[in-house]
Structure 1
Amino acid sequence: MRCRLVLMAALATLPVTALADTVWLKNGDRLSGEIIVFDGSKLMLKTSYGGSIAIDWKQVETLESDKELLVKQDDVVGERAKSLSASEQPGSVVLANGDQPRSVELASISQMLPPKPLVEDLLWSGNLDFGLDFKQGERDTEDYEVDLRAKARHGRWRHIGEAEYNREFQDDLKTTDNWSAEYSLDRFFDEHWFWQGRLNYKRDHIEEIREQRTIGTGPGYQFWDNELGAFSLGSLVNRTDYKFDTGDRDRFYSLSVKWDYNRYLRGKSLELFSNGEVGKPLSGVAEFALDAELGLRYKVTDWASLNLKAQKDLVSGAEGDLDETRYTIGFGVGW
């Protein structure tokens, strides 16, 4: 009877062990969990005991996994490995593909992730945030805001899409009603340098400027981009076209610098983020313009979050200078 109980206990643990990926570290430690992605310098391992753990790739001795993974040794070409096996040679892993397994050095691997159905090396992430702001006083104010930001990367290409909708009422009178959308396409030359093309459109139903279109292009530099965050700078030459409520049109050219920063803290439960653009018109009386956002996002679950944002709009040197700061608290979903 005792032997039967021991055997049943051993068999009960087999499925868990078989489904778990294992990572051996150079210091002798062994971690079990699910390999989510390796991109850059960190291997993300999802565990039941510590959530998502970021492991320094240089500290990995070897690893194994029973699931199919796309392993890339450059920015373009990848190999679909049916499984990974631990290698007897330190700093290596065995890619199992039928009868011809081969050993590769971990230092030669640039990316590793489960293959996607259509674009195998697609990395896709984003957030959809909803913000509400109510003020009661001499004037009752209701402010609604919806923000969408998504990023997709495959090979040397990165796509960034953004959309925003704002509506504000003061004493039941609509004072703000606008929406905007932006698409950026980046082509990387190496790990850091890229060239960006950007298209932005804004529609306003209240202000004097009813439509605004901006086309820009220029080089950029990616300082880092991994599972713990990203930071990039881009410099653009822009052409902006205006359409006024009177039907008149105008255009001007400008130079601008964009930034995009986010950093995950406390095991990815907190995210600090900032993005924006500062520009200098090449003609006209305006000295410079600033559009910036700074925020903190707290993950309640794997997909739901609470956020706190501060947004700054500043136009200096123009007739009727603009200087507005908005604070919003909201909730959102992420992927």
Structure 2
Amino acid sequence: MKNEWNIVVIGCLLASTALADTVTLLNGDRLSGTLVRMEADMVWLKTGYAGTLKLPWAQVDQVNTDAAVRVRLADGTELDGQLQADRARQLRIRIGSLAETTLLALDRIDAINPPRQGDRTNVSGRASLGGNIARGNTDAQTLHVDGELVARNASQRVTLDGELNDAAQDGVDTASNWRLGMKYDHFASEKTYFYANTRFDHDGQAGLDLRSTLGVGAGRQLYERDDLKLSLEGGLSLVNEDYADATDTRFPGARVGVRYEQAFWDDRLKLFHNSDLLLSLKSLDDYLYQSRTGFRVPVGNGFSLGSQVNFDYDAVPAAGKGSTDTSLLFKLDYTI
């Protein structure tokens, strides 16, 4: 009876090994496990002995999978099938029981098991709160609130964002500004999109009653992963500025925008940078620049502690006002 159990156990182990996906590296190392995905020139292999390994795709020599996976080629073609290694850095994709592709170089594979978005809309959001209150010899209070809501499916993305800063010292306002924006992106391909956006800004200390911006343009979503998001975009905008004690202005402008967010050390730290440059097409000396740069440290249950630097620059401010506004903020964030 004991010998029979040993045979069963050994058979199970051999079967589990036989059913495993395998990745062979250029140095000859052969790793077995479950091929999770490949994207951005990295492959994720889930193992029972070392957790999930993240391997450079350029160092992979051969790949075999026991079950069908979804493969996206560099030309956008998607196939579902079993990967079968053939020769150095080449494979075939077996589709069903009868068909298989010709030899494919690994360099032609853009992704394995990329996320399926389809028509499903994913909604994400973030809200931030910061501030302080002092009473006694010092009578001051500050309040900072900002947030963002994003709805995304395979072909569209809608972004709403807002920010409010209010501060007073001994009963005198030292900061009173807010901004509100809305943006619509339509993806012509996986990474290229066209956008339309509008933004409203108010800054009492800068003498700005309202700045309204309406623009269109195009962008490139270079990365859109859980651990890295990076996009670059540019276009044309119409800017209208209403001042309390200065001449109102209106001008067409060229816009450049950057959006960046990256997680490090298994999401223990997140860095971000968002910036917009508006350059007047009437005068190259007239431009506006706004940036938000900082970090967040997740503390659990959707909450993060972080800090950011707000930098606003108006090359042609209202008479008697400065060009530069900078603030350092400490915040509590909540992400959904």
**1:323 corresponds to 2:325:** yes
The alignment covers a number of residue pairs equal to 323
State the alpha-carbon separation in 1 of the partners of residues 29 and 201 from structure 2: 56
**1:136 corresponds to 2:134:** yes
State the alpha-carbon separation in 2 of the partners of residues 300 and 68 from structure 1: 38
State the alpha-carbon separation in 2 of the partners of residues 285 and 88 from structure 1: 59
1:285-296 equivalence runs, <5 A: 287-296=286-295
Distance 1:282 1:297, change over 3 A: same
Distance 1:264 1:23, change over 3 A: farther
State the alpha-carbon separation in 2 of the partners of residues 55 and 304 from structure 1: 31
In structure 2, stretches of 5+ residues that fail to align are none
State the alpha-carbon separation in 2 of the partners of residues 176 and 11 from structure 1: 73
Distance 1:119 1:10, change over 3 A: farther
Tell me the SS of whatever aligns to 1:317: coil
- Native 8 Å contact 1:235 1:256 kept in 2: yes
Cα deviation per residue 1:205-245 (whole Å; 9 max; x = unaligned)?
Answer: 98853572421325x667x5375645554333211245789
Task: Give the aligned CA root-mean-square deviation in angstroms.
Answer: 4.6
State the alpha-carbon separation in 2 of the partners of residues 163 and 242 from structure 1: 20
1:292-311 equivalence runs, <5 A: 292-300=291-299, 305-311=304-310
Aligned to 2:199, which of 198, 201, 207?
A: 201
Cα deviation per residue 1:97-146 (whole Å; 9 max; x = unaligned)?
Answer: 322342533211122225526359x9x79662523232436234242423
Distance 1:86 1:179, change over 3 A: same
How far does residue 38 in structure 1 lie from its aligned partner after superposition? 2.7
Cα deviation per residue 1:244-276 (whole Å; 9 max; x = unaligned)?
Answer: 89xx98632112322233444335543332120
Q: Which amino acid aligns with 1:296?
A: F
Aligned to 1:164: 162
TM-score, normalising length: structure 2: 0.71
State the alpha-carbon separation in 2 of the partners of residues 41 and 188 from structure 1: 23
Distance 1:85 1:129, change over 3 A: same
Tell me the SS of whatever aligns to 1:3: helix
Query: What fraction of aligned residue pairs are identical, expressed as a percent?
Result: 16
Tell me the SS of whatever aligns to 1:256: strand
Aligned to 1:276: 275
Aligned to 2:118: 118
Aligned to 2:254: 255
State the alpha-carbon separation in 1 of the partners of residues 47 and 307 from structure 2: 29
In structure 1, stretches of 5+ residues that fail to align are none
State the alpha-carbon separation in 1 of the partners of residues 84 and 158 from structure 2: 37
Aligned to 1:333: 335
State the alpha-carbon separation in 2 of the partners of residues 176 and 262 from structure 1: 28
- Native 8 Å contact 2:68 2:83 kept in 1: no
State the alpha-carbon separation in 2 of the partners of residues 301 and 22 from structure 1: 35
State the alpha-carbon separation in 1 of the partners of residues 33 and 301 from structure 2: 17
State the alpha-carbon separation in 2 of the partners of residues 305 and 19 from structure 1: 41
- Native 8 Å contact 2:86 2:92 kept in 1: no
State the alpha-carbon separation in 2 of the partners of residues 116 and 203 from structure 1: 37
1:1-335 equivalence runs, <5 A: 2-3=2-3, 6=6, 9-10=9-10, 21-32=21-32, 35-45=35-45, 53-65=53-65, 69-79=69-79, 81=80, 83-103=81-101, 104-114=104-114, 116=116, 118-119=118-119, 128-136=126-134, 138-148=138-148, 150=150, 159=157, 161-166=159-164, 168=166, 170=168, 176=176, 178=178, 180-185=180-185, 196-202=194-200, 209-210=209-210, 212-217=212-217, 225=223, 229=228, 231-241=230-240, 251-283=250-282, 287-300=286-299, 305-319=304-318, 320-321=321-322, 322-333=324-335
More divergent stretch after superposition (14-23 vs 163-172): 14-23
Tell which structure's C-alpha radius of gyration is larger: 2
State the alpha-carbon separation in 2 of the partners of residues 173 and 19 from structure 1: 72
Tell me the SS of whatever aligns to 2:258: strand
State the alpha-carbon separation in 2 of the partners of residues 21 and 160 from structure 1: 39
Distance 1:199 1:280, change over 3 A: same
- Native 8 Å contact 1:288 1:316 kept in 2: yes
